[in-house]
Chain A
Amino acid sequence: MNTIITADQLFQALRETVVMVGVSLFFGALLGIPIGIVLVITRPGGILQNRFVFAVLNPLINVVRSLPFIILLVAIIPFTRLLVHTSIGTSAAIVPLVVYVAPYIGRLVENSLLEVSPGIMEAAEAMGATTFQVIWHFLLPEAFGSLILTMTTATIGLIGATAMAGTVGGGGIGDLAISYGYQRFDTFVILVTVAILIVFVQGIQSAGNRFARKARRD
């Protein structure tokens, strides 16, 4: 089968995808996990109940999550330029990816933490634990297995989103599939990139499941 791309291009794209996913996952988690925690503790009945914070944060997350990634990507270009001093390339793609994934992680983390039994929270409170101690010694360890699955889901979501990163010259496997495979009718590229993405997603999901099982001691 004939193709127009070189192996170098493929490896370059692979590298870009790994960098984009890895870096935005890191910063996304850095923002998203605290967002999830704040949602859980400030909600009505939470350990640090705060009507105002919850009422602002909750809909804000929904608003950001409503935006299609491609729109978000373009809409925040001024913000991206402010942060990384460019609006094209891999690093320019990372900023919108973080903005996209952080509220997503926040919501998933919220769900994971809400699974922790109210009895555990009550025991923590009965022991006179501070808010920080409740989060650090009770909430996070008890939700750890579930949080691993949360991060797995977020990573796979990010891989999907990176395909659009080509719009701002971010590159990556998805971009390769669109600009060479789809737009130039290169079937080989489509097959190879899709195969790579399947392997990626499968691998990440299996690893996530395994770690989560271990953490949950099933």
Chain B
Amino acid sequence: MIELKDIHKTFTRKGQTIEALKGVNLRVDKGDIFGVIGYSGAGKSTLIRMVNYLERPTKGRVFVEGEALDQFSPVQLRKTKKKIGMIFQHFNLLESKTVYDNIAIPLVLLKQDKKSIRERVTELLQFIGLADKADSYPKELSGGQKQRVGIARALASNPSILLCDEATSALDPQTTKSILDLLKKINEEYHITILMITHEMAVIQQICNKVAVMEQGEIIEQGEVLEVFGNPQHPTTESFVRTVIQTSVPESVLQSLSPEGAGRLFKLKFAGGNASEPIIDSLIRKYNVSVNILFANMSQIQNTTLGMMIVQLGGEDRDIFRAVEFLGSRGVEIGELQDLQEFQNRRKDPVIAESHKDRVIKEVTAV
């Protein structure tokens, strides 16, 4: 378990003071795969370095497995660091040592005997699938293989926490996926808590169960991944979510809408269980409304489906109202799109159009 309490960090460079972290609170529970996302310069690198005290907070306290790091002597601190593995964007392997010796380093530092080092390193080489590369040098490996070695090295001393500093940012999408799968496997098989920082929402989407969004040294939003993806509150979060899930109505759909078109426009959002229920089917059968699906998008997050739909409902206002009520009762989040005419007029004004592009939805709770 990791807990950061009101962490502040200021750097002074050339007489200028930079506030990298401004009162960050974060709690990572045992077994979590916790992702911190933010643009470069948001302070996420500084944040992850607080956990193993590579950087010390100017103010605030860091707790690892319930113990405050600031009360530790240098000796105790080194001991704690051995319980926290870390992998890096640029792998940071020793070019002068073989894959075997790189993985063995943490154990050599622990002064373990040769035999138990051999056993552990052999086991780890099997685990990362590089048993045949034991005598190779890092220079002879691909990026993905290097990161696997980095992971094995981080796991050598049996840590309870793994810190990932942009671990996949230097890798191609295919390799990224295989590394993320490996991290997930580590989390499940070894019950290691993972804290990772990244600027790619796809990484969060693929393996994290919790996420925190950082901007200018502050956490602007955090929670369960499904929650944050389904209902982003902050514009920055929204733009991150949009990189993996399309949440705005495509231009082509807007073009095809005519003011004379019958029916009212609604945006539906649903998550988890109700995504697999035949809601639309029930809607048509039970209520006297016509349903025209203009846009639909389904995304897989963890083991849950997150869906978004734009539908045009036609019929009597009374029927539409009851239909909306029905959808609300099934856990579907529903909002009506603003009056089409007004909406299209706004789009003609480029300034307003830009600021209203994604905010044309007037939230109406199913009364």
Residues of A within 8 A of B (CB): 117, 119-120, 122-123, 125-130, 133, 137-138, 141-142, 144-145, 215-217
Q: How far is A91 from B136 in the complex, measured between Cα atoms in Å?
A: 47
The answer, yes or no, to whether B108 is at the interface (CB within 8 Å) is yes
The answer, yes or no, to whether B54 is at the interface (CB within 8 Å) is yes
Q: Could you mark each residue 168-187 of chain B with 1 if its beta carbon is under 8 Å from any beta carbon of chain A, else 0?
A: 00000000000000000000
Minimum distance in angstroms from B206 CB to a CB of chain A: 25
Contact indicator A142/B96 (Cβ below 8 Å): yes
The stretch that binds A, out of B14-22, B57-65, B80-88, B278-286, is: B80-88
Given contacts A128-B81, A128-B82, contact A141 B109 (CB under 8 A): no
A-B contact pairs, 18 of them (CB 8 A): A119-B88, A119-B90, A122-B92, A123-B86, A126-B52, A126-B86, A126-B163, A127-B105, A127-B106, A128-B79, A128-B82, A130-B78, A137-B105, A137-B109, A141-B97, A142-B96, A144-B96, A215-B96
Minimum distance in angstroms from B173 CB to a CB of chain A: 24
B residues less than 8 Å from A120 (CB atoms): 92, 94
Residues of B within 8 A of A (CB): 52, 54, 77-82, 84, 86, 88, 90, 92, 94-97, 105-106, 108-109, 137, 139, 157, 163
B residues less than 8 Å from A217 (CB atoms): 95-96, 137, 139
Minimum distance in angstroms from B57 CB to a CB of chain A: 16
Contact indicator B94/A128 (Cβ below 8 Å): no
Contact indicator A141/B96 (Cβ below 8 Å): yes
| Closest partner residue, chain B, to A126 (CB atom) | B86
Contact indicator A142/B95 (Cβ below 8 Å): yes
Candidates A122, A130, A137, A141; contact of B88 at CB < 8 Å: A122
Given contacts A128-B109, A129-B109, A217-B137, contact A123 B92 (CB under 8 A): yes
Q: How far is A26 from B139 in the complex, measured between Cα atoms in Å?
A: 33
| Closest partner residue, chain B, to A120 (CB atom) | B92
A residues less than 8 Å from B82 (CB atoms): 127-128
Candidates B79, B88, B95, B137; contact of A123 at CB < 8 Å: B88
| Closest partner residue, chain A, to B157 (CB atom) | A127
Q: How far is A125 from B109 in the complex, measured between Cα atoms in Å?
A: 11
Q: How far is A137 from B110 in the complex, measured between Cα atoms in Å?
A: 12
Contact indicator B86/A128 (Cβ below 8 Å): no
Contact indicator B94/A141 (Cβ below 8 Å): yes
